[in-house]
């Protein structure tokens, strides 16, 4: 079988220390998140309220979904710039289908996911078959979908059925179901990446395409599957945003593609492909969400939020030196 650099070598002592040394980005992300959480808990009673922690987890869902899809594409050596617009087209399209066309949610929601997967399939097929530059191609798809979203609706739609809002509201023992579901998705993503054949193949294709081909892997199929996954999770993010706001908005999911790339990059996913872990991405998504929660909590001027976020991103990308020479 293929050997992948990612697999941890068994060792006797100092295994944790060596793991930390190899995964400096992951450790750093969790350390910064922990410092922020502990510090803010001391400073603010509202922040340390358990309800706020649950809320942070719920706030993180759209970014978490988009980042998981983005992560697979990036590990396979690509970039998906269309995730935000896939989320927008699916969310907005579903809203129009349910309000104007009056279709039932149990039909529209699975259809929305299917549309997302199909859009991903188109991205993946073109990237794989024609060896297109992923960044440029998905940037093109992003532009097309931006136009499609405008064609679907140029203003906010009417309120979607209450059952859709339940996706966001429903909870068991005061833990929202969507947070539990997100936890399951993270676990599945971890399993798929670290334990499944497909995960190994993704690392191999992104880390060393030539070796992957020589080892008899069908690179094209792996690449296409990654883009399909990305389309699927983006569509899920769009539908979740719809359930949160209750109305389809032509400006929804703005900047999601950038945020997901940034989260993946902060989490230590190599932009050259082949390196990175689910754990790092999870930490990065938490970090970004905690930061935006803190901004809102301390009523940090909205005008300064972007600047602060930008500075954090610059520091994050500057701190960990990339491992592969250009």
Partner 1 sequence: MSEAAVIAQSSATRAGAVRLLDWLSRYAAFSAVLLVLLVAAFIAPAFFTAGNLRAVLIQSAILGIVVIGQTTALIARGLDMSVAAVMTFAAVLVAQSTATGNFGLLIFQLVVLTGLVGAANSLLVTWRRVPPFVATFAMLIVVDGARLAYTHGQSAGSAPAWLKFLGSGAIAGIPIPVVIWAVLLVVAYVCLNRTTWGRWLYAVGANRGAARHTGVAVDAVVVSTFFLTAISGTLAGILLSG
Residue 158: both structure tokens together? 């009417």
Query: Which is nearer to partner 1, 198 or 272 (by Cβ)?
Result: 272
Measure the CA angle with vertex 164, ends 160 and 165; round to 5°: 90
Query: Which is nearer to partner 1, 101 or 321 (by Cβ)?
Result: 321
When binding is defined by CB under 8 A, the residue of 235, 261, 284, 288 that contacts partner 1 is 261
Residue 305 in contact with partner 1, rule: CB under 8 A: yes
Which window, 102-110, 183-191, 277-285, 302-310, contacts partner 1 (CB under 8 A)?
302-310
Residue 307 in contact with partner 1, rule: CB under 8 A: yes
Residue 321 in contact with partner 1, rule: CB under 8 A: yes
Q: What's the gap between Cα 187 and its chain centre?
A: 14
When binding is defined by CB under 8 A, the residue of 258, 273, 276, 284 that contacts partner 1 is 258
Would you tell me how many other CB atoms lie within 10 Å of the CB of residue 254? 14
Residue 27 in contact with partner 1, rule: CB under 8 A: no
When binding is defined by CB under 8 A, the residue of 1, 17, 101, 318 that contacts partner 1 is 318
| Cβ–Cβ < 8 Å for 142, 85 | yes
Those residues whose C-beta lies under 8 Å from the C-beta of residue 254, and which sit 6 or more positions away, are 84, 88
> Among candidates 326, 320, 325, 245, which has minimal Cα distance to 23?
320
Taking CB under 8 A as the rule, which mask of x and - marks residues 187-206 in contact with partner 1?
Answer: --------------------
Residue 298 in contact with partner 1, rule: CB under 8 A: no
Residue 255's Cβ-count burial label (10 Å; 0-12, 13-18, 19+) is: exposed
When binding is defined by CB under 8 A, the residue of 236, 265, 287, 294 that contacts partner 1 is 265
Residue 309 in contact with partner 1, rule: CB under 8 A: yes
Cα–Cα distances (Å) from 159 to 95, 98, 152, 236, in that order, read: 8, 9, 16, 19
Tell the residue number behind the tokens 């706030």, with chain if given.
59
Taking CB under 8 A as the rule, which mask of x and - marks residues 118-137 in contact with partner 1?
Answer: -----------------x--
What distance in Å separates the CA atoms of residue 225 and residue 230, rounded to the nearest whole number? 9
Q: What's the gap between Cα 281 and its chain centre?
A: 8
- Closest distance to partner 1 from the beta carbon of 314 (Å): 5
Which window, 83-91, 112-120, 216-224, 261-269, contacts partner 1 (CB under 8 A)?
261-269
Residue 313 in contact with partner 1, rule: CB under 8 A: yes
Task: For the chain, give the number of residues.
Answer: 326
Which window, 9-17, 140-148, 154-162, 315-323, contacts partner 1 (CB under 8 A)?
315-323
- Closest distance to partner 1 from the beta carbon of 52 (Å): 25
> What sign for the dihedral angle of Cα 270, 271, 277, 281?
positive
Residue 43 in contact with partner 1, rule: CB under 8 A: no
Residue 304 in contact with partner 1, rule: CB under 8 A: yes
Q: What's the gap between Cα 294 and its chain centre?
A: 21
Tell the residue number behind the tokens 């190994």, with chain if given.
200
Q: Interface residues with partner 1 (CB under 8 A)?
A: 79, 135, 258, 261-262, 265, 271-272, 301, 303-311, 313-314, 317-318, 321-322, 325-326
């Amino acid at each position: 079988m293929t050997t992948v650099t990612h697999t941890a070598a068994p060792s006797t002592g100092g295994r944790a220390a060596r793991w930390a040394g190899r995964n400096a980005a992951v450790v750093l992300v969790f350390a910064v998140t922990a410092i922020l959480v502990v510090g803010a808990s001391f400073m603010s009673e509202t922040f340390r309220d358990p309800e706020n922690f649950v809320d942070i987890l719920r706030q993180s869902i759209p970014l978490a979904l988009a980042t998981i899809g983005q992560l697979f594409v990036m590990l396979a050596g690509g970039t998906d710039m269309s995730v935000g617009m896939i989320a927008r087209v699916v969310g907005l399209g579903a809203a129009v289908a349910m309000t104007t066309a009056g279709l039932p949610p149990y039909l529209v929601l699975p259809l929305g996911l299917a549309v997302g997967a199909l859009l991903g399939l188109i991205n993946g097929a073109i990237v794989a078959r024609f060896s297109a530059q992923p960044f440029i191609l998905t940037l093109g798809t992003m532009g097309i979908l931006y136009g499609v979203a405008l064609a679907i609706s140029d203003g906010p739609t009417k309120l979607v059925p209450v059952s859709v809002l339940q996706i966001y509201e429903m909870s068991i023992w005061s833990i929202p179901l969507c947070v539990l579901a997100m936890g399951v998705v993270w676990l599945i993503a971890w399993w798929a990446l670290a334990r499944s054949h497909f995960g190994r193949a993704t690392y191999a294709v992104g880390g060393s395409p030539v070796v992957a081909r020589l080892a008899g892997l069908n690179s094209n199929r792996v690449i296409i599957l990654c883009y399909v996954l990305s389309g699927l999770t983006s569509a899920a993010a769009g539908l979740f945003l719809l359930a949160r706001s209750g109305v389809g908005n032509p400006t929804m999911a703005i900047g999601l593609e950038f945020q997901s790339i940034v989260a993946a990059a902060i989490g230590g996913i190599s932009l050259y492909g082949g390196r990175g872990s689910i754990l790092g991405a999870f930490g990065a998504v938490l970090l970004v969400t905690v930061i935006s929660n803190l901004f809102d909590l301390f009523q940090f001027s909205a005008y300064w939020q972007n600047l602060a976020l930008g500075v954090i991103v610059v520091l994050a990308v500057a701190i960990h030196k990339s491992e592969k020479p250009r």
